[in-house]
């Protein structure tokens, strides 16, 4: 196991600065998810930990040791890529074993490790198959097993589930949570998918344009977003935001925090609107409500309104957030 620390790290590619003066501590043994929109610098951070793309300035520490001059193979990290990067001509067993042969682990030990790790990831019956004959989920497991045999103290994963269909992705999310629990190793996981971040992370590091916008457990980011970016990136549909009409202050509320009714209510913020769209999703219905000034998405358990119907919309004061002109949230929790 190992902690990771970035101290005043900047990374530039030619003239463009991709990571700006970043400080970050990733805790030992935790499942940390780096999340943010495409191009925000997540993969760049991961590659700096791996030593594949060294920082331009500042220091990266693994387990308290400055690894600036440590080669990738000596850092005790293993990386799992989005495209799995398996060797197509090798069997599953050979793919998993490859790193061990390179490290001169003897044959008996190799066989033992491959057997036990392939059992952990559910590949025991596939060891003699070629990657091309496996499903996406099975290939993903081979990539994980190949990382696991090296017994790294840090697992780095770059969008490892993005090539899988929605159902398999949901299943693999659970498997990764289980795997992390079993191994107790530091996981650093990159995704642009906030659902993956919310469901798997002990800590979410939310990034935008090379900066950390918030670093906190999922429920804290969801309930106490520090700024407008965090409020709108995490949560589906995103937080509704409207203009208060004074000094650039904005207000926001989550789609599930509003109450729709036929009669005016007594809630702190209330307004009237018209149902513009209705999406019945099974367990809930999403309504888009248009008011004079705004358009809000509202999530309801009951499917009781139809398009063009007039409704009253209310939100209790405790569920309303305020953001200043600098986009930071106003007020204490
Ligand atoms: P995605 O979710 O799309 O993978 P990301 O958050 O992982 O995005 P990075 O891959 O870290 O983003 O890229 C951050 C920025 O750095 C992007 O603007 C990208 O174009 C730029 N970049 C990354 N690698 C290089 C490179 N080798 N040369 C030049 N620019 C690069």
Digit-coded pLDDT (tens) for 62-77: 999 999 999 998 999 9
Under 8 Å between Cβ of 72 and 102: no
Order of strands across the sheet that contains 250-253: 240-243, 250-253, 321-323
Whether the pLDDT of residue 306 is over 80: the answer is yes
Helices (H), 239-333: none
β-partners of residue 155 are: 78, 187
Determine the residue of 20, 44, 161 to mutate for testing ligand 1's pocket, defined as the one with the most ligand atoms within 8 A of the Cβ atom. 44
pLDDT digits (tens, 9 = 90+) for 95-134: 999 888 877 888 999 999 999 888 888 888 999 999 999 9
Residue having the nearest C-alpha atom to atom 3 of ligand 1: 38
The sign of the torsion formed by the CA atoms of 139, 181, 102, 79 equals positive
Residue 332: band (very low, low, confident or very high) from pLDDT cuts 50, 70, 90? low
Encode pLDDT of 185-234 as tens digits: 999 999 999 999 999 999 999 999 999 999 999 999 999 999 999 999 99
For 63-83, give one letter per residue: b (16+ CB within 10 A) or e.
beeebeeeeeeebbbbbbbbe
> Of 136-145, 234-243, 265-274, which has the strongest mean pLDDT?
234-243
Q: Cα separation of 166 and 158, whole Å?
A: 17
Q: Does 13 contact ligand 1 (Cβ within 6 A)? A: yes
Which of 40, 53, 158, 233 has most ligand 1 atoms within 8 Å of its beta carbon, as the pocket-test mutant?
A: 40
CA dihedral 176, 236, 266, 310 (to 10 degrees): -140
Tell me, what's the ipTM? 0.95
pTM metric for this prediction? 0.91
Overall residue count recorded for the chain in this entry: 333
Tell me if 258 CB under 6 Å of ligand 1: no
């Amino acid at each position: 196991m190992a902690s990771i620390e970035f101290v005043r790290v900047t990374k530039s590619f030619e003239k463009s600065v991709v990571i700006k003066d970043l400080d970050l501590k990733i805790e030992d043994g935790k499942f940390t998810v780096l999340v943010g929109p495409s191009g925000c610098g997540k993969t760049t951070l991961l590659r700096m930990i791996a030593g594949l793309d060294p920082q331009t300035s500042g220091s990266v520490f693994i387990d308290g040791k400055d690894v600036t001059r440590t080669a990738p193979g000596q850092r005790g990290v293993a990386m799992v890529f989005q495209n799995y990067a398996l060797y197509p001509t090798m069997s599953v067993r050979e793919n998993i074993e490859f790193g061990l042969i390179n490290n001169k682990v003897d044959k008996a030990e190799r066989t033992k490790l491959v057997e036990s790790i392939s059992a952990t990831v559910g590949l025991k019956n596939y060891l003699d198959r070629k990657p091309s004959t496996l499903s996406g989920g099975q290939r993903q497991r081979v990539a994980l097993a190949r990382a696991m045999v090296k017994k790294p103290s840090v697992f780095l994963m770059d969008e490892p589930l993005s090539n899988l269909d929605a159902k398999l992705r949901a299943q693999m999310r659970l498997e990764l949570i289980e795997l992390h629990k079993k191994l107790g190793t530091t996981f650093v996981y990159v995704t642009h998918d906030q659902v993956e971040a919310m469901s798997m992370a002990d800590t979410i590091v939310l990034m935008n344009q090379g900066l950390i916008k918030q670093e906190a457990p999922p429920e804290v980011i969801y309930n106490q977003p520090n700024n407008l970016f965090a409020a709108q990136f995490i949560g589906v549909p995103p937080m509704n935001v409207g203009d208060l009409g004074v000094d650039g202050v904005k207000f926001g509320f989550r789609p599930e925090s509003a109450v729709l009714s036929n009669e005016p209510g007594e809630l702190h913020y209330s307004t009237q609107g018209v149902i513009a769209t209705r999406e019945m999703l099974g367990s809930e219905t999403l309504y888009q409500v248009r008011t004079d000034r705004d358009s809000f998405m509202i999530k309801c358990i009951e499917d009781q309104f139809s398009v063009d119907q007039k409704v009253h919309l209310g939100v209790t004061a405790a569920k309303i957030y305020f953001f200043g002109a600098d986009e930071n949230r106003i007020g204490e929790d």
